[in-house]
């Protein structure tokens, strides 16, 4: 069965700290990869996505993620977080053979001002 | 707007009652998903519709849950004989084939 693992369930950082959230998936074929974000009281929205090409993708608000095929990983990074980045972050995989999205369990990020 | 629309946004019901939650996806999107988000939990997959194919119901937690998608567009999630553990936010999302998911605002269900 397909699975998406997010290793950090809850992360607390101070403003200006660097962020890296881990995401690993289990599927050997072609995948499309996504990070979604849910700000407090808001609906889920796309942060960034990888379909093909440059494995380092940049998203909104200074976020980026790197697809490392050999490691089945798609970690999310931001060099310097802000208080407004406080949210829950979900990694998702769309595997070509299954045509269905699989989500990780989410990581809650709390940025202290 | 042209986003995914869900109704009602909030529903409070008594234990044992039936509820219907509606999702109006983005026009032209072939895929439609229902997820459940409980307090402190991640996204729990419920059901997936893709075009005219048979839906993937593998995530429905019990036979009290059912969903249909009429005409390849609007979808209704029905929960019969609601229980307190059904309290959650029910999220609908639609997607073009192999594209990103677009989420609705969700329907918050509270079962008293």
Q: Retrieve residue B44's tokens.
A: 């729990």
Asked if B97 lies within 8 A of A101 by C-beta distance, the reply is: no
C-alpha–C-alpha distance, residues A67 and B40, integer Å: 28
B97 and A99: CB-CB below 8 Å? yes
Structural domain count of chain B: 1
Q: Using CB atoms and an 8 Å cut-off, which of residues 84-103 of chain B contact chain A?
A: 91, 93, 95, 97-98, 100-101, 103
Tell me which residue range forms the domain holding B12.
5-111
Check if B55 contacts A (Cβ < 8 Å): no
Picking from B29, B49, B38, B51, the residue whose alpha carbon sits closest to that of residue B96 is B29
CATH superfamily of this structure's domain A4-112: Immunoglobulins (2.60.40.10)
- The CA–CA distances, whole Å, from B76 to A80, B17, B92 equal 42, 16, 10
Print pLDDT tens along chain A (113 aa): 668 999 889 999 999 999 999 999 998 788 899 999 999 988 899 999 999 899 999 999 999 999 999 999 999 999 999 999 999 999 999 876 666 788 999 999 999 98
Asked whether the beta carbons of residue B48 and residue A100 sit closer than 8 angstroms, the reply is: yes
Contacts by A58-62 with C-beta closer than 8 Å and gap 24+?
Answer: A59/A35, A61/A85
- Across the interface, of A90, A100, A105, the residue whose CB is closest to B56 is A100
Given B42, B91, B97, which is nearest A106 (Cβ)?
Answer: B42
First to last CA, chain A: 41
Taking only the tens place, the pLDDT of each residue in B59-108 is 999 999 999 998 879 999 999 999 999 999 999 999 887 678 999 999 99
The pLDDT tens digits for B2-45 are 799 999 999 999 999 999 999 999 998 989 999 999 876 778 88
CATH number of the domain residue B105 falls in: 2.60.40.10
Q: What is the DSSP letter of B54?
A: P
CA–CA separation, B29 and B57 (whole Å): 19
């Amino acid at each position: 069965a397909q699975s998406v693992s997010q290793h950090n369930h809850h992360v607390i950082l101070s403003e200006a700290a660097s962020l890296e959230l881990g995401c690993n998936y289990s599927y050997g074929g072609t995948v499309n990869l996504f990070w979604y974000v849910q700000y407090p009281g808001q609906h889920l929205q796309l942060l960034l996505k990888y379909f093909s090409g440059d494995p380092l993708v940049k998203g909104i608000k200074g976020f980026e993620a790197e697809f490392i095929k050999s490691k089945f990983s798609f970690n999310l990074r931001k060099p310097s977080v802000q208080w407004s980045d406080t949210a829950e972050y979900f990694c998702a995989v769309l595997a070509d053979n299954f045509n269905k999205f699989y989500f990780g369990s989410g990581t809650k990020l709390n940025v202290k001002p | 707007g042209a986003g995914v629309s869900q109704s009602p946004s909030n529903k409070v019901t008594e234990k044992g009652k039936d509820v219907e939650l509606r999702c109006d996806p983005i026009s032209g999107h072939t895929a439609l998903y229902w997820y459940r988000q409980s307090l402190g939990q991640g996204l729990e997959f419920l059901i997936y519709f893709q075009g005219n194919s048979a839906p993937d119901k593998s995530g429905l937690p019990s036979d009290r849950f059912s969903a249909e998608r009429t005409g390849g567009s609007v979808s209704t999630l029905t929960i019969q004989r609601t229980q307190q553990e059904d309290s959650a936010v029910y999220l609908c999302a639609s997607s073009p084939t192999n594209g990103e998911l677009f989420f609705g605002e969700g329907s918050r269900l509270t079962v008293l």
